[in-house]
């Protein structure tokens, strides 16, 4: 049977968080943060394999999946506070943090604010840049369109950009699952998160301050955060490693879980990350 998780609920920072916490309690911890507008189940292929070697925590970002929205305006800063409150509640003092796309924006902002709480960073299909004026204006148009036409149309318009062209022939089930995740996200969360993403700050100028080991992963055919975005972070983060995942677009962990999981395992078990656990 495929992994579904227990979908536990905990209240932190004034909202209910749906999360899964798998693997041995005394193993190195990896906390995974999903992309927009998805939820923690996008990490199922990682949990299924990695829970044998690591404590693996996945959770739904505020408003997404089974997590509540709370009353505050969405922002990357609020999502960072939610993450730290969740770590406190789960008694995770330090963790390896892995974020994909929006999850990577949250991870980069979290390490900037709380550098002592992270052993290592895995940045997947993400960017350290703020939205350009054009990207901001596209987000506003997307908000208007979601309000008028709902989540289904948003899913249809965005699916093409999430996967590599070859995945449309080989990954029909996975694509249907991702479509379902988008469609089930409320219009309120779609709009509030689009706004939060459009006003996020850049983290480029802080990359040189990152002192923990960093692995950068990116799908070879990512159209949303192309490989050039990863090269830029790789150049700026001293000692970072970078790996381009074949047969993958923006959702490289879903499109090529074999290579993705292999890279994560090698990295977290490497001497440089182990040394940070002491």
Which positions lie near ligand MLT, rule CB under 6 A?
Answer: 35-36, 101-102, 197, 224
Structure tokens at 29: 């911890």
CB of 277 to ligand MLT, least distance (A): 29
CB of 123 to ligand MLT, least distance (A): 12
Question: CA dist 252 to 6, 191, 263, Å?
Answer: 25, 25, 12
CB of 131 to ligand MLT, least distance (A): 7
3-class SS string, 87-150: HHHCCCCCEEEEEECHHHHHHHHHHHHCHHHEEEEEEECCCCCCCCHHHHHHHHHHHHHHHHHH
Q: For ligand MLT, which is the closer residue by CB, 53 or 157? A: 157
Q: For ligand MLT, which is the closer residue by CB, 45 or 197? A: 197
**Residue 197 in contact with residue 36, Cβ under 8 Å?**
yes
Q: Looking at residue 41, what DSSP letter applies?
A: G
Structure tokens at 191: 């709009």
Q: For ligand MLT, which is the closer residue by CB, 45 or 90? A: 45
Q: What CA–CA distance (Å, rounded) separates 85 from 267? A: 26
Q: For ligand MLT, which is the closer residue by CB, 55 or 250? A: 250
Q: For ligand MLT, which is the closer residue by CB, 224 or 276? A: 224
CB of 36 to ligand MLT, least distance (A): 4
CB of 10 to ligand MLT, least distance (A): 23
């Amino acid at each position: 049977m495929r992994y579904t998780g227990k979908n536990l609920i905990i209240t932190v920072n004034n909202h209910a968080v749906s999360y899964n916490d798998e693997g041995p309690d005394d193993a190195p911890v990896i906390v995974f943060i999903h992309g927009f507008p998805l939820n923690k189940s996008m990490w199922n292929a990682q949990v299924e394999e990695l829970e044998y070697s690591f404590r693996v925590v996945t959770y739904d970002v505020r408003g997404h999946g089974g997590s509540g929205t709370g009353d505050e305006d969405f922002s990357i800063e609020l999502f960072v506070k939610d993450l730290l409150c969740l770590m406190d509640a789960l008694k995770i003092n330090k963790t390896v943090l892995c974020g994909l796309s929006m999850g990577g924006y949250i991870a980069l902002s979290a390490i900037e604010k709380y550098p002592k709480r992270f052993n290592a960073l895995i940045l997947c299909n993400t960017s350290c840049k703020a939205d350009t004026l054009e990207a901001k204006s596209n987000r506003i148009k997307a908000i208007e369109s979601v309000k008028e036409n709902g989540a289904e149309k948003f899913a249809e318009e965005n699916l093409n950009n999430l996967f590599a062209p070859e995945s449309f022939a080989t990954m029909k089930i996975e694509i249907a699952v991702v479509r379902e995740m988008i469609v089930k996200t409320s219009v309120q969360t779609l709009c509030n998160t689009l706004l939060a993403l459009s006003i996020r700050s850049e983290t480029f100028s802080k990359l040189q301050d990152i002192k923990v080991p960093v692995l950068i992963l990116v799908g070879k055919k990512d159209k949303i955060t192309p490989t050039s975005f990863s090269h830029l972070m790789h150049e700026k983060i001293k000692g970072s490693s970078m790996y381009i995942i074949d047969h993958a677009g923006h959702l490289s962990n879903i499109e090529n879980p074999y290579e993705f999981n292999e890279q994560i395992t090698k990295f977290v078990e490497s001497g440089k990350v182990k040394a940070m656990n002491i």
